[in-house]
Structure 1
């Protein structure tokens, strides 16, 4: 189904009868409504309005083609609303390995010849608890359950089907004091716009501008989500809507986007294999201009009239598509009632050769390239989708077929152009590796950790004959040989049921500037100078949402041999921006302890938490100069460590490191945790900035940088 938002994407072909009333049925049956941003925007971009197909529309906005539909159709739409079941709160949590009694496992590798490079705020009555959602963004992407007061009566809106399970209690005023932060979202967006204008005014459509837009969009979305989550289960407070749509509306109204002008073929700055977790991300970078419609197209002049040509399609299971072949796609047209719902009382309607269907037919005869985005099931959350850009295809045939409903459906055969990097085919290969556990080319060990982690870590070399890195003991956590006493004694929180957002009585929340640092689905909201997690002295359970970095690995990783940087680290699974990856495990040393390692390996497989580096996971205007450890911490992973020791340096990294202090009575329990800067596709090397060592450090060694980034400094320490 196609929805057009904005004048640029509305069908403007003279052959169309725009007075026709269409039965418009969106793929995802949501009713997101946001008022447009303030009219004092400095941008010349027309305001972006995200409204439901039948209203209500924001003040001053009238229903427009093709959004106007009959009241009967809207009634059927509401009756047929589908909302997936919720995932239990904190279902992503697992007990820390140490709690499960995991002991270090010894990896026996070559005795020598190892890697020489360190890898090393509008309130209304709310009486029903907002259900927690999963990391797949179900609450943000697929709908939510609300109860709102209407005078003395309470009515339920959009009640999800299925039985919800939640570990979280409904809050009452007697539970604790709830504090809502005074956050000016408009000011944040203005700061983003200012930074965007100053740094990327001449980089429209570049990889840098695409990365900038996506990173700051998701940072803003997470910040809005953090604020919204404080309202959960509080009587008298209502969440204001989906953070993903609200953030996108703000960005569109301010003109914070790239590749705004539609084009056929490749989109500058977007690479084959790039992944997206929200449809609005596709719009912001110009990959697919329809926030809900599956076919995006534009008018091309042909002699005296215009004809529509298809630009891109999204195939995500909403229609009867055949998408198992990695290089060929049988795509179903839009309209009629060919979508994959199972209602038996629907009127059978044939699809018509108009709008997107006509555009695909015209593209068949013209032979233009069409971008294909495939929606793939989220491996962690079955209700979620990951959108994978699978590259350019051409249409080689079309026909009319009978759908499951008995209606006529247009079918289009698309074939992938050769010479493009793997994308969907790579996902299918990874599925096979997981199933057989032996089909990975170059596999040396199926599990480098020998069971020390929640998930196996493969060891792979498809470059040369080296059989693995030098011998080391695999240890999943950081060990302190001597306790580090705190100057000022601290106490843990008393949140016996787990820390909840907005609880101003929680000591751990107080230390985190009155906010929980993580969203309900375990994503870091933003990088901080120092993050305070619950620890051994806290009364909260192991699955408390403020213990994210303590549960070990969640994504399937592999240690692999690189072409020129020794051993590296990458993931078989897609990684979402803000997701926790791992901590840097090893032995905590005093500053002078590095001497014991020997001059030849003094800084190999070691981490200095007092290095300086530019913060990446923060919004413009946030007061952070970078990670700041409260005391000198040096971690050696030479003889014992985990996968973090294999992460290589990059001057344009996709991973950030974060000092995490866990409450442990009067002793300091400082750790170094790694989080994704943006969405990371499978098999993309994971890298972070090693940072700069303070001048005068006798053990700093300048090394040649081979990251290949356009921002490469040519060296690192």
Structure 2
């Protein structure tokens, strides 16, 4: 079943939706009129853009009707009744329901999207357990210092943080097992839907979470004898009370001899392994010295995974092969790449290097699959340049002019002759229009040095009496929130406080590059872990009413925290923060001004930073998060872009602009349309 906490979140959202449904209906007429006035777009194309025109950056549109649901609501189980039993489908194999203004629509997400949602859920649990571990270690460190300061032998010894270290990745996948949120719980032969050759996992536990390899330690994953007995079935499970029964064995498995191997991991743990990419000699399991020196300490036996691989030889069953490599950029220190299906063509027993009997298996890669990507395991789309001289198509060494701590080069392999980005002024921070008055700085917290205890930190109390970030990997947001309250100018903590994570500027090497159809785009040369802040959306902070007559500026970003919270368009449904929920439900006029029109917006047309070049995607790898630090006025929140997934180097960075289809009107009052070229599996084919 889905975790109770997630169910509670959905209930709060539904209650709030009912509360404001009347206002939404009243707004729709005014919203449409506003869009007719504001979103008048010309037919002029961007030079070299291939038909798309300028990148449209207007993110929160009030007339949107395509409501999306976040990973939490996507995991809500569909229950069917059949002869007194509940038939419960696998939680991620669901049709998702989205509702706007009382109109329901149902759609089925692609396999790729299901995999992505499952990994996002895993990462959220992972970061929650990382936070628990950081709290535990912080408490132990405080006790150690207190014990040392007191110099008292009677004081109890502090907790040994190393000897009792926990594994947040294993706890995360255990949580998903408990709540029935593993994507493909039953093992299956062949490819896994939604996972293509070249897919990268950043932890063994990630493979378990999606059902790609069911054990975080064993190198061989296999279907046991219980599959022959019909105790497992790929599909539905019938439940009645606390008991479960299965619908029987699939017909395609009836004639197999079990156990059968379905996947192996090559990670260099055995001294007798031989990996020649297309041809592999794999050492069976057992008799291994688990201390890490790779040596055999006893004979292997023809049982379990060894017997499963032997049966694959005799029954011509292919196995999935994953290769693990060390990776300094990965948050676990390793990265695992799916290299496709291999046929187990031969097996034999021999005396290994250490003198003990080991079983060997020769595997040969099946033909007709995509080329191997292991040699470029860190880079799905090519090799990261090591110096400026290696950058192909370089048209500008640093578009920031030295403003950022890291230079941002621009490349163009599309235009002839190649051109650099022009028509704007780079500015790393928000510029405020003269007629906009910023609120006075908030009082802040009285912490010293670092904010440690969320129960006494005034800023943490605004986040539900907890810190929204973990300090691992330079700071990562645990999950998307309505609004993140950070420490500000009047707080007693320093710049290294974990609750200032989004204020530290760029920390990843970014590149602006030209695309054939989407104009300019952005990618990172570094691995970006999920939850990491990428950049702020900067420009000129202006009043929305001052832009009513602007028809060709496509870099306007509405600051609309209230709409963000309601989950309209491409944003997640949140509304979990007690403080902000109270503000909304209070119905105070000042707080509800942006119910109809956001009062302020960021204009990045003539002045902006790297964020103005980030394109839209229907399956983005970034998400928008409103952040309050110097003050607490939600109408003037900072707009931050965070990583929604673990992003490998050289993958384009994207976020969902949040347009509803048929929401943009031309000067003649007719609906305008723009094609979407994001290439996502679930692409809506149109930007608006």
TM-score class, shorter? 0.5 to 0.7
Q: 1:197 to 1:404 in 2, by over 3 A?
A: closer
Matched, 1:580 2:505: no
Q: Residues of 2 paired with 1:316 and 1:411: CA distance?
A: 16
Q: 1:38 to 1:528 in 2, by over 3 A?
A: closer
State the TM-score, normalized to the length of structure 1. 0.63
Aligned to 1:211: 116
SS of the residue aligned with 1:547? helix
Cα RMSD, aligned residues only:
4.7
Aligned to 2:658: 691
Is the contact between residue 256 and residue 315 of structure 2 (CA under 8 Å) also seen in structure 1?
no
Aligned to 2:261: 310
Aligned to 1:377: 326
Matched, 1:355 2:311: no
Is the contact between residue 290 and residue 296 of structure 1 (CA under 8 Å) also seen in structure 2?
yes
Is the contact between residue 482 and residue 574 of structure 2 (CA under 8 Å) also seen in structure 1?
no
Structure 2 gap ranges (5+)? 8-45, 58-70, 79-88, 96-107, 144-155, 229-252, 585-590
SS of the residue aligned with 1:221? helix
Aligned to 2:487: 534
How many residues align structurally? Answer: 538
Shift of 1:655: 1.4
Q: 1:304 to 1:563 in 2, by over 3 A?
A: closer
Q: Residues of 2 paired with 1:412 and 1:307: CA distance?
A: 17
Q: Residues of 2 paired with 1:672 and 1:512: CA distance?
A: 17
Shift of 1:464: 4.9
Aligned to 2:11: none
Shift of 1:508: 1.3
SS of the residue aligned with 1:376? strand
Matched, 1:608 2:558: yes
State the TM-score, normalized to the length of structure 2. 0.65
Q: Residues of 2 paired with 1:507 and 1:580: CA distance?
A: 23
Aligned to 2:242: none
Q: 1:581 to 1:409 in 2, by over 3 A?
A: farther
Aligned to 1:276: 201
Is the contact between residue 560 and residue 567 of structure 1 (CA under 8 Å) also seen in structure 2?
yes
Shift of 1:656: 0.8
Q: 1:487 to 1:192 in 2, by over 3 A?
A: same
Matched, 1:707 2:678: yes
Q: How does 1:214-363 map to 2 (within 5 A)?
A: 214-227=119-132, 229-234=134-139, 241-298=166-223, 306-320=257-271, 331-337=282-288, 341-342=292-293, 348-363=297-312
Q: 1:340 to 1:622 in 2, by over 3 A?
A: same
Q: Residues of 1 paired with 2:382 and 2:358: CA distance?
A: 31
Q: Residues of 2 paired with 1:706 and 1:358: CA distance?
A: 48
Matched, 1:650 2:617: yes
Aligned residue among 419, 442, 448 for 1:490: 442
Shift of 1:674: 0.7
Aligned to 2:523: 570
Aligned to 1:427: 377
Shift of 1:416: 4.3
Q: 1:572 to 1:696 in 2, by over 3 A?
A: closer
Q: 1:308 to 1:629 in 2, by over 3 A?
A: farther
Q: Residues of 1 paired with 2:601 and 2:202: CA distance?
A: 36
Structure 1 gap ranges (5+)? 1-35, 43-111, 121-187
Is the contact between residue 480 and residue 574 of structure 2 (CA under 8 Å) also seen in structure 1?
no
Aligned residue among 610, 623, 643 for 1:676: 643
Q: Residues of 2 paired with 1:349 and 1:437: CA distance?
A: 53
Aligned to 2:66: none
CA deviations on 1:301-353 (whole Å, 9 max, x unpaired) are 8999824432111223433487987656554432223667249xx88324444
Is the contact between residue 443 and residue 460 of structure 1 (CA under 8 Å) also seen in structure 2?
yes
SS of the residue aligned with 1:357? helix
Is the contact between residue 553 and residue 581 of structure 1 (CA under 8 Å) also seen in structure 2?
yes
Aligned to 1:475: 427
Shift of 1:659: 1.3
Structure with the larger RCO, 1 or 2 (CA within 8 Å, 6+ apart)? 2
